Amino acid sequence: MVQSLDTMIETPSQTAGPYVHIGCIPSFAGLPGVYPEDLGLSPIAPGAKGQVITITGAVIDGTGWALRDAMMESWQPDAAGRFAGQDGADPAVSGFCRFAADKDSGLFTLTTVKPGPVPHRSGGVQAPHISLWIVARGINIGLSTRIYFEDEDNSADPLLSRIEQRPRVDTLIAKKTAEGQYRFDIRLQGDNETVFLDI
Amino acid sequence: MKDMTDNGETDAGPLIPRQRHMHPVPYDPEYKTSVPRSPKWPLLSMESTPSEETGPRFGHSLLGPLDNNLILNFSKDGSPAIGERILMHGRVLDENARPVPHTLVEIWQANAGGRYRHVKDNYLAPLDPNFGGCGRTITDAEGRYQFLTIRPGAYPWPNRANDWRPMHIHISVFGHSFGQRLITQMYFEGDPLIDRCPIAATIKERSQLDRLVAPLDMARARPLDFLAYKFDIVLRGRRQTMFENRLEGM
Ligand SMILES: [Fe+3]
């Protein structure tokens, strides 16, 4: 026998289930009226500095079918790379957004400001990116990934550099479809499976 | 990045890596929907960065007076929701056994008959006109939270031929870092459906599943009013840095 450690173990996850919207986006569930408005409707307020962009996409399962019941959260810094609460952060950028796949099409839309680069502990700089967390029925522990941008310099990003199979890097890069418009699909499984993070 | 908690301590240092084997397996054929929705490639592991170490904060001004009272927060005329009245309470801690103060906790659940108020739930059991099924609160300085609600009913779901979910309440917790984000479910002590549930069984480490089963807590039950169940939640911690002459982080 040995002494026991003081550290505790994280509570295990369970799937968010098909009715996650009741708790997280009640209006989407057809349940208005409990709260004045859903949490995290937008990561930006009027006057946010930087380029306003729209990212559209779908969460696609191993059969090629877009999930209709996925819920996502995004977290990002402002256009200068500062997170809410940090010194000098843009007060019009909360950086947090909650959004759901559309019930009919499976498409999601995120409108935000393009984030700035963020320093890395090692001294390098992380290319502009948005952190994304995905939960749904059938997903037993929330999936983490990142949205990078094809019109940014991603060459020295520490996370992208760690992806050994270089073709997979592409799964984390949003494609520019028009000025300020990007497409970002998340593939849970199968060809071009998205790189998910343990971070 | 400095991130002061109300204990006057600084959240610093990288997040402690997740012990993935203490969580449910992503792919489990007994839970059929997980089959096409589970990644097959290994996750990319890396030390956390400010993107994971920071996170959204929500203030108490967000909350309405009935947000943590599901018995009354959807009632049109003050009539209480139907069902066994219960208090769900506990603490949010991190892996270093420190309380996580001022963090948002959200819950959602079926009504006493096992029916959700959701456009996609068409189970036979009736809706309760006075029960919405969602609530939220923010932990206090010691990480404590509580909800007054009704005991949710078990319900059948399409999976294997005759699967039923045990009574459960879904819980979402933020912590102070986006990398701490957690959604889980609370089960109730003594429910025979827990051991028959393929979703509960996605957790292969029995001692970990046991941590999702809330004990009856008669010390907090109020006579002639409600029973109580205690449910503590542990979020990822951050590595302590005693031997480094500077705080990790930025
Ligand atoms: Fe449920």
Mean pLDDT, 10 residues at a time, chain B of 250 residues = 41 90 98 98 96 96 97 96 98 96 98 96 96 98 98 98 98 98 98 98 98 98 98 95 52
CA A117 to chain centre: 16
Of the candidates B91, B102, B165, B238, the residue annotated as catalytic is B165
Residue A70: what are its φ and ψ, rounded to 5°?
Answer: -80, 145
| A-contacting residues in B 49-68 (Cβ below 8 Å) | 49-52, 54-58, 62, 64, 67
Mark whether B155 is an active-site residue: yes
Q: Does B191 touch chain A if contact means CB atoms closer than 8 Å?
A: no
CB count, 10 Å around CB of B2? 12
At the topology level, CATH places domain B20-40+50-235 in Protocatechuate 3,4-Dioxygenase, subunit A (2.60.130)
Task: Quote the pLDDT of residue A123.
Answer: 82
B64, A119: Cβ pair inside 8 Å?
no
Alpha-carbon span B48 to B134, nearest angstrom: 32
Task: Quote the pLDDT of residue B240.
Answer: 79
* DSSP state for residue B130 in the 8-state scheme: T
Return the residue of B nearest to A126 by Cα.
Answer: B49
Return the residue of A nearest to B132 by Cα.
Answer: A31
Q: Does A129 touch chain B if contact means CB atoms closer than 8 Å?
A: yes
Of B1, B121, B211, the CB nearest to A11: B211
Alpha-carbon span B202 to A147, nearest angstrom: 29
Task: Quote the pLDDT of residue B75.
Answer: 96
Mark whether B116 is an active-site residue: yes
Give me the amino acid identity at B217: D
B250, A121: Cβ pair inside 8 Å?
yes
Structural contact between residues B92 and B235, judged by C-beta atoms closer than 8 angstroms: yes
What is the count of residue pairs from A and B with beta carbons less than 8 Å apart? 272
Task: Quote the pLDDT of residue B243.
Answer: 56
B170, A17: Cβ pair inside 8 Å?
yes
Strand partners, B183: B172
Mark whether B165 is an active-site residue: yes
Where does the pLDDT of residue A120 fall: very low under 50, low under 70, confident under 90, or very high at 90 and above?
confident
Alpha-carbon span B158 to B161, nearest angstrom: 7
For chain A, give every domain's residue range. 40-187
Share of chain A above pLDDT 90, in %: 93
Structural contact between residues A13 and B24, judged by C-beta atoms closer than 8 angstroms: yes
Alpha helices of chain A — where are they, by DSSP H? 20-24, 158-161
- Chain A residue numbers touching B108 (CB-CB < 8 A): 19-20, 22-24
A26, pLDDT greater than 70? yes
Name the residue among A7, A139, A166 with its Cα closest to residue B23: A139
Structural contact between residues A185 and A57, judged by C-beta atoms closer than 8 angstroms: yes
Alpha-carbon span A129 to A132, nearest angstrom: 9
A182, pLDDT greater than 90? yes
Interface test with B, best of A19, A103, A122, A188 (most B CBs within 10 A): A19
Alpha-carbon span B87 to B1, nearest angstrom: 38
- Chain B residue numbers touching A12 (CB-CB < 8 A): 22-24, 184, 203, 205, 208-209, 211-212
Its pTM surpasses 0.90 = yes
Mean pLDDT on A146-159: 97
Name the pairing type of β-strands A143-149 and A173-178.
parallel
Report the CATH number of the A40-187 domain.
2.60.130.10
CB count, 10 Å around CB of B12? 19
Task: Quote the pLDDT of residue B138.
Answer: 98
